[in-house]
A and B are shown apart, each in its own frame.
Chain A
C-alpha cells in the first residue's frame, strides 16, 4: 500500500479556482480539519466526501472565511480569496436559515444580485427578469411570489441554487445540496450543475451519498479530518482509498456499489 501525504505547492496556483494550503480548524481542543492541502481543478465537478463529522462543511466555511481557521492559506485563481469573491457563489445548508423570514422567493433570488445593485442601486425590470430566468432554470418559475416558509425542502434548495445562479459566478460551492430533497429536485439540481460545467464553470459540492458520486461528479476529494486524496473519480474513488477515509467501517457491499473502478 503506497501512501502519499498530499503534496504542497509552493507558488499559488493561478489556474485553480480554489486552492487550500495547510488549513487547520478546531472547535475548542479538537481539530475538525487538520493541515489540509488541496487544489481544486477548474471546469470540473468535484465532490467532497467523507464520513460524518469529517470536517467537510467546516472546510468549506473556513475556506470562505465564514469561520476562522487556526492556520491556513486560501487562494482563488492565484489571489487571496477575499479578493476574488465576485467570482464565487456559495450555496449553504438549508438548516442555517430561519425560513419564517418575511421574504418571497423572488426576494431571495435577488439577493444574488447584491454585488451589482450595491447599496442604493435601483432594481430595474432587467434585474427582475434575470432573477426570474434563474428561477426558471431550476424549475421554480411559478413560485416567484410565494412566501419562502411555504416551500418544501426540495423547493427551498432550488431557490438557494437560483440565488447562486443569479451571481453569475465562475466557482460554485455547495454544502450538501442533495440532503433531504425529493428525487425530482435532485434530478433538477444535477441537471443545472452539469449545465454549469458545460459552460466551463467549476462546481465543488459536499456530497453525502457515496452511491451517486461516480454518476454525478468528475473528481472527488476524500477527507476525514485530514486530506486523504483528490483526483478523478475513476482513479481515486477506489475501495482502498475509501477504506482509509471511512476507517474500515465501510461494508464491502457498499463499496462494491460505490467504487466505480
Chain B
C-alpha cells in the first residue's frame, strides 16, 4: 500500500465516503416523508442542468456546470409542484413527467452540442468516474503535511467535504422542526413552523448533495445513496437519532467496500482493470439493505393503529 494508496486511492475513497454520507443524511428525512423518489427526480435532471451550464458558458468547467445542475434541480422541483397542483396529479406521476422530459431535453442538447467539438460523456454522467479523482501530488503519507502537495488535491474533494459540512449543519441546526414537521405536519403548522419552506429547504439540501456527488458517482447511483443506507438503518432501530447514526455507518461501509471491491476485486481475480466503483458502491449498499431486510431487528412494521382506514372514517 503506502505510496500507491495515497496517490491513487486515498482521495477517491474520501470523496466517495463524503458523497455517500452527504446523501444519506437528508435521505433519512426524505425516506420518512415518503419523498424517497425526489432523489430519482433530482438525479435525472442533473444531466440537462450540466449540459445547459456548459452550453451557456461554452466551457467544460465545473463552476458553470454545477450552477447549471443546481438551477435545473430548482426548475424541476418548481415544475413538479406546479404540475401537481394545476393538474391535480399525484406526486409520483408529476415527478415522472417532469424528470423524464428534462432528461430527454438534456440528452438532445448533448447530441446537438457534440457537433461543436466539446465532448461530454453521457455514460460518465450516468455513472461517474470516481477512480479518476486521484491525487497526483500525493507521493506518500508525508504528502498529507506538505502544503505544496496539498495544493494539488483534486478540487472535487474540497467541494464534497464542504457540501458534507453543509448537510451536517442543516440537519443539526434544524433537527427539531424537521422531526416535528415530518411526524405531524398539522401540529407543526399550528405551532407556527413554516413546514412548506422547511420541506423545500430539505429538498434543496438533497439537491446540493446530489449535484456535488455527481462528479464522483454520476447521477443515477446517487439515488442508491439517498435511499439504501437510511432504509437499512430504518430497519435496525426505532429511534431517529440512532437511525441517522446507522445510516452514516452504512453509507461509509458501502463507499469503502464498494471502492475496494471495484478497484482490487478484479486484480484479486487475475484481471488488469478495475470495474465501476460507483456501480459497486450501489451494489454493496443494496446488499446491506438486503441483509437488513432479512435480519434487521426492527424490520417489521409494528404499528397497531390502521392509519388508512381510520383516516377515511374520521376525515371530513
Does A pair with B? yes
Cross-interface CB contact of B238 among A32, A58, A147, cutoff 8 Å: A147
Report the Cα distance A24→B156, complex, angstroms.
54
List the A side residues contacting B272 at CB < 8 Å: none
Report the Cα distance A151→B302, complex, angstroms.
10
Complex contact B239–A88 (CB within 8 A)? no
Complex contact A95–B302 (CB within 8 A)? no
Report the Cα distance A66→B314, complex, angstroms.
17
Flag the segment in A8-16, A96-104, A131-139, A183-191 that touches B.
A96-104
Mask of B222-248 contacts with A, CB within 8 angstroms, 1/0? 000000000000100111100100000
List the A side residues contacting B316 at CB < 8 Å: 32, 52-58
Tell me how many residues of B have a C-beta within 8 Å of chain A.
36
Flag the segment in A114-122, A212-220, A231-239, A246-254 that touches B.
A114-122
Q: Is A130 an interface residue (CB 8 A)?
A: no
Complex contact A92–B238 (CB within 8 A)? no
Complex contact B186–A90 (CB within 8 A)? yes
Complex contact A95–B315 (CB within 8 A)? yes
List the B side residues contacting A153 at CB < 8 Å: 304-305, 310
Complex contact A90–B302 (CB within 8 A)? no
Flag the segment in B17-25, B145-153, B174-182, B211-219 that touches A.
B174-182
- Max chain A CB contacts within 10 Å: which of B173, B174, B187, B304? B187
Which of under 10, 10 to 19, 20 to 34, or 35 or more describes the interface residues of A? Answer: 35 or more
Mask of B159-196 contacts with A, CB within 8 angstroms, 1/0? 00000000000000111110110111111011111000
Q: Is B112 an interface residue (CB 8 A)?
A: no
Nearest-CB distance from B259 to chain A (Å)? 30
List the A side residues contacting B305 at CB < 8 Å: 94, 99, 149, 151-153, 156
Complex contact B310–A94 (CB within 8 A)? yes
- By secondary structure, the B interface counts as helix
Complex contact B311–A96 (CB within 8 A)? yes
Mask of A100-113 contacts with B, CB within 8 angstroms, 1/0? 11111001100100
Report the Cα distance A89→B240, complex, angstroms.
25
Q: Is B301 an interface residue (CB 8 A)?
A: yes
Complex contact B303–A99 (CB within 8 A)? yes
In the complex, chain B residues 278-316 whose Cβ is within 8 Å of any chain A Cβ: 301-305, 307, 310-311, 314-316
Whether A99 touches B192, Cβ cut-off 8 Å, given contacts A54-B316, A117-B176, A119-B176, is no
Q: Is B275 an interface residue (CB 8 A)?
A: no
- Max chain A CB contacts within 10 Å: which of B177, B183, B237? B183
Report the Cα distance A93→B307, complex, angstroms.
11
Chain B: which residue is nearest A55 at the CB level?
B316
Q: Is B107 an interface residue (CB 8 A)?
A: no
Report the Cα distance A108→B187, complex, angstroms.
11
Q: Is B55 an interface residue (CB 8 A)?
A: no
Whether A102 touches B239, Cβ cut-off 8 Å, given contacts A92-B184, A97-B184, A114-B180, is yes
Q: Is B32 an interface residue (CB 8 A)?
A: yes
Whether A101 touches B183, Cβ cut-off 8 Å, given contacts A85-B190, A95-B311, is yes
In the complex, chain B residues 94-151 whose Cβ is within 8 Å of any chain A Cβ: none
Cross-interface CB contact of B177 among A53, A104, A114, cutoff 8 Å: A114
Whether A150 touches B304, Cβ cut-off 8 Å, given contacts A65-B189, A104-B239, is yes
Complex contact A85–B240 (CB within 8 A)? no
Nearest-CB distance from B293 to chain A (Å)? 16
List the A side residues contacting B307 at CB < 8 Å: 95, 97-99
Q: Is A255 an interface residue (CB 8 A)?
A: no
Q: Is A194 an interface residue (CB 8 A)?
A: no
Whether A102 touches B310, Cβ cut-off 8 Å, given contacts A90-B190, A156-B305, is no
List the B side residues contacting A150 at CB < 8 Å: 302, 304
Complex contact B191–A96 (CB within 8 A)? no
List the B side residues contacting A147 at CB < 8 Å: 238, 302
Complex contact B314–A102 (CB within 8 A)? no
Report the Cα distance A255→B173, complex, angstroms.
55
Report the Cα distance A66→B174, complex, angstroms.
21
Nearest-CB distance from B232 to chain A (Å)? 14
Report the Cα distance A103→B179, complex, angstroms.
9
Nearest-CB distance from B182 to chain A (Å)? 7
Whether A151 touches B304, Cβ cut-off 8 Å, given contacts A92-B184, A104-B239, is yes
Q: Is A176 an interface residue (CB 8 A)?
A: yes
Report the Cα distance A245→B38, complex, angstroms.
45
Report the Cα distance A90→B185, complex, angstroms.
12
List 23 contacting pairs A-B, 8 Å CB cutoff, sorted by A: A53-B316, A56-B316, A64-B190, A66-B189, A66-B190, A90-B186, A92-B186, A95-B315, A99-B303, A100-B302, A100-B303, A107-B240, A111-B187, A114-B176, A115-B191, A147-B238, A147-B302, A149-B303, A149-B304, A150-B304, A151-B304, A151-B305, A163-B187
Since A119-B177, A120-B173 are in contact, a sample of 14 more A-B pairs with Cβ atoms closer than 8 Å, ordered by chain A residue number, is A92-B190, A93-B315, A94-B310, A94-B314, A95-B310, A97-B184, A102-B240, A103-B183, A111-B180, A117-B176, A119-B174, A147-B302, A150-B304, A179-B314
List 3 tightest A-B contacts by C-beta distance, closest first: A90-B190, A95-B311, A149-B303
